[in-house]
Structure 1
Amino acid sequence: MLVYYEGNDRKRETFADPKDAKTRAEEVANKLSTGQAAALTLTENDKFAYVEAVKVLKPTGIPLHLAATEFAKAWEVLGGHSVLDAAKYFAKRHPTKLPSKMVSDVVREFIDSRTKNKKSKRYTDDLECRLGKFKKKFPTCSASIEAEQLKSFLDGLDLSARSYNNFKLALMSLFNYAKRNEYLGWTGTRSIG
């Protein structure tokens, strides 16, 4: 005789041959140890939900248990708000297909646009000086720069309050230009100082 629990149900099986009982006991023990017994107690709705979830996740390559864990953590971080809305907001602020414009190229383009718009020589010379320091410090793709890096750059210049603000305005103008031309996805220029 073999007695075991499957979920909340007590199961009892009898066998004429002790070898059959032992074989069946090993099968049940293997199922219980690998968690397969729980799968045996799924309702039809649970089975359907599981199959659908696995099918939806297949293109991502993420297993169901990891997706559920990620979702639960994201939901908690968002205070119960929509995870999809948060993802859409993030995607809008961080587009995946931005051109690889180097900072030096964006600075050159920006200053050229100011010159073409008949801005004063003094203003464009000021931009050359301030943004020249910036492009030397950031020989990288413009889309990779974060607001915190801009603030850190400004704070490291050891400037008077007036010069700090002038530098900040030049950077804000540069990054607003880059945003308008879709060279970067974030709009964090207000948070740089």
Structure 2
Amino acid sequence: MPRRNISSGPERRRPVKRQRMAGVTVTVQRSRKGPYTHSVVMRRDGQRLREKYFNSKQEAEALAQVWAIEAGNAGAKAAASVTEADKRFLAEARERLAPYGRTLVEAVDFFVRHLDRSQITLTVEALVDKLITTKSREGKSKRYLQDLSSRLGQFSREFGSRPVASLTTDDISSWLANLEVSPLSVANTRRVLSVLFNFGAALGTIETNPVTRAFSPSLVETEVGILTVGQSARLLAAAHECPEILPAVAVGLFAGVRDEELRDLDWSSVNFENGQITIRASKSKSARRRLIEMRPVLRAWLEPLRQLGGPVWPRQIHRGRRLHTEVRREAGFRSGAAKSEDDKALAPWPHNALRHSFASYDLALRKDAAALALELGHTTTAIVFAHYRELVLPEDAERFWKLRPEMVLGICKHDDPDFNEHSYVERSA
């Protein structure tokens, strides 16, 4: 059996002599470094404080003895200076830290790091500016940047001059809880604040995100609001009387383009040759380019109004919004709360009604959630299944996708008091 070489392997690091004194450990051990045979190491709480190398065991042990005596003397001096109040404080501190498995040294280190960060002069206002600049350089959409600016601007007006590290979870919770907006809007603002403070943590301005444990509103899940087939027909008939807004209504209803994206959509992105509508990354909410198939029913509505270029939405944004509201009202819908007796006779306009209707009727007919998710700009099918599955019957979906101009204008007179959903179903079957 070959003789074991004790000058190599784990045994070479085995301590030759070890002394503990006043919380300090002094160890003599065999050395791995160069020509030296031994080293002396002083540690406290596992952290190396001092180290020296020697060519002989005797020299190493002699220095170890000196270090141990020095540590003992220092410990005795420190112990003599500790009062009874200090001892009670130490005992209480250890007791409070025990449930967390942390030492007093770790607690002090953590607090010192917090103090160091609190001295950094980066204010909330400056951090907001840095975040918006960074997101802009990343190519985020105009709508996303506007949302950031709006929500963070409101937050900055309250806390803008304060150092970022000085804000606590209680500060943020109190501010969120006192916002006079809907729970959904509070939740969206909270999400944006979390983005801000995560950004601050990445910069080293703060150690943890205070929004993580801040107030979060309870949200009641609401059903997705869509238009029935008859309501869709009435809307198209009303829009037909206003050719200026008709293309936007048709694209929203039969392509699911968001209202904000509609206002930026150009006719050059509506390709009648390959049958696709392109939502450019710079115009998309998700800042990703996407393609939407132009269904035959949409082509039928757009073909008579097609242009080579220019905005699909009316050139004056506010005029387009007014026309859109008027068309909805002609179709029997009001925008917002009922302010008059006439308003009470109208149905409330569902949130994102055109986009939700497109998605619901498409999923019911084609049953291709993956393709629909791509057209809507979602990265997964989860939202498609959660919001749009089984909202409409397949037979209603078939009628929806047959709402061509000749059918709608032939059977749906939006000023005809006798028109209703049942008459439309009977005449279009």
Number of matched pairs? 139
Aligned to 2:185: 163
Question: What is the Cα deviation at residue 90 of structure 1?
Answer: 4.3
Aligned to 2:77: 51
Q: Which residue, out of 53, 64, 82, partners 2:83?
A: 64
CA contact (8 A) 1:111 1:124 kept: yes
Q: Distance in 1 between matches of 2:75 and 2:123?
A: 48
Give the partner amino acid of 2:93: A
Q: Does 1:186 align with 2:208?
A: yes
Any gaps of 5 or more consecutive residues in structure 2? 1-72, 216-429
Q: Distance in 1 between matches of 2:176 and 2:74?
A: 57
Gap change, CA 1:144 and 1:48, over 3 Å in 2: closer
Give the partner amino acid of 1:145: L
Bigger shift: residues 134-143 or 72-81? 72-81
Overall identity of the aligned pairs, in %: 25
Q: Deviations over 1:150-184 (max 9, x none)?
A: 11111110221211111001000000001100112
Q: Distance in 2 between matches of 1:112 and 1:48?
A: 54
Question: What is the Cα deviation at residue 148 of structure 1?
Answer: 1.1
Decide which structure has the larger Cα Rg and report it.
2
Paired residues for 1:13-32 under 5 Å: none
Q: Distance in 1 between matches of 2:173 and 2:120?
A: 24
Question: What is the Cα deviation at residue 100 of structure 1?
Answer: 0.8
Gap change, CA 1:95 and 1:65, over 3 Å in 2: same
Give the partner amino acid of 1:140: R
Q: Deviations over 1:65-87 (max 9, x none)?
A: 33222211112222475322333
Give the partner amino acid of 2:108: A
Any gaps of 5 or more consecutive residues in structure 1? 1-46, 56-62
Aligned to 2:194: 172
TM-score, length basis structure 1 = 0.63
4+ residue segments displaced more than 6 Å: none
CA contact (8 A) 2:194 2:209 kept: no
| 2:165 partner SS | helix
| 1:119 partner SS | coil
Q: Which residue, out of 134, 147, 159, partners 2:169?
A: 147
CA contact (8 A) 1:95 1:185 kept: no
| 2:173 partner SS | helix
Q: Does 1:76 align with 2:95?
A: yes
